[in-house]
Structure 1
Amino acid sequence: MITGIGLDITELDRIARLDSKSEKFRNRILTTEEHRHYQQLSSQRRTEFLAGRFAAKEAYAKALGTGIGPDCSFLDIAILPNEKGAPILYFNNQPVDGFVSITHTQTVAAAQVILQKTERI
């Protein structure tokens, strides 16, 4: 059963500007593990990665129904690749029962999150 849906889109140039000023924005958004992935990327890919993670975390908070705030911060959420590279959501270091999709064009990054509750028989 679907329990929440969230969608977010963000401009790459906005994220690039924030990231170029200092590490403060990046450190507010990325977990330690995500930051390791970020460091391994080229300059353009870093912007796409950071914007995608920002959008996905915003989408997750919307699907959860809390928004980003005291109950759900950017650092509470992690989006890490599985063995095939697909993004997997984690909240407070626990896998989330749901799905995340991240995409980008030359100008924007977007993400959608669908949360579900798996019925156990």
Structure 2
Amino acid sequence: MIYGQGIDIASLKRIKAAYQKNPKFAAKVLTEGELAVFETLSPKRQVEFLAGRFSAKEAYSKAVGSGIGSQVGFSDLEILNNKQGRPVIVKHPLQNKLRVHLSITHDNEVVVTSVILEKLGGFERLKSYFK
């Protein structure tokens, strides 16, 4: 069962400007694990990575219904890539209650993210219905 959905669009130019103005911006948005990946990337890829994580965390907070800051902070969410390279939210405040479906895409100017939160157990009940 769908609990919530959030979508966010972020400007790569705006994220790049924020990071260039204040390099601590990355540490504000990214967890230690995300920062470790960020530091291995080329400058262009760093901007895409930072913008993607920023936007995905905003989308998650919208799916929860709170926005960043009131109930969910940037450090409450960690997004790492799985073995196939797909971004996965590996840490979030409701991980014992909700499954997260995340999509991140970007082009030369923007990054777009979508988060769907699914209540755990809903799909299993649905599968048993069709047996």
The bucket for the TM-score relative to the shorter chain is over 0.9
Which protein has the larger Cα radius of gyration, Structure 1 or Structure 2? 2
Query: Which structure 2 segments of 5+ residues have no match?
Result: 126-131
CA RMSD across the alignment: 1.7
Corresponding residue for residue 49 of structure 2: 49
Further displaced range: 94-103 or 11-20 = 94-103
**1:7 deviation in Å?**
0.2
Corresponding residue for residue 33 of structure 1: 33
TM-score of the superposed pair, with normalisation by structure 1: 0.92
Matched pairs, number? 121
Give 4+ residue runs of structure 1 displaced > 6 Å after superposition: none
Q: Do the aligned residues in 1 keep the contact of 2:72 with 2:93 (CA within 8 Å)?
A: no
SS in 2 for 1:69: coil
Percent identity over paired residues: 44
Q: CA 1:36/1:93 → structure 2, altered by over 3 Å: closer, same or farther?
A: farther
Post-superposition Cα deviations, 1:83-119, rounded to whole Å, max 9, x if no partner, equal 2111111214957512100000100011000000132
Post-superposition Cα deviations, 1:52-94, rounded to whole Å, max 9, x if no partner, equal 1111000000001111113100110111111211111121495
SS in 2 for 1:97: strand
Q: Do the aligned residues in 2 keep the contact of 1:76 with 1:93 (CA within 8 Å)?
A: no
TM-score of the superposed pair, with normalisation by structure 2: 0.86
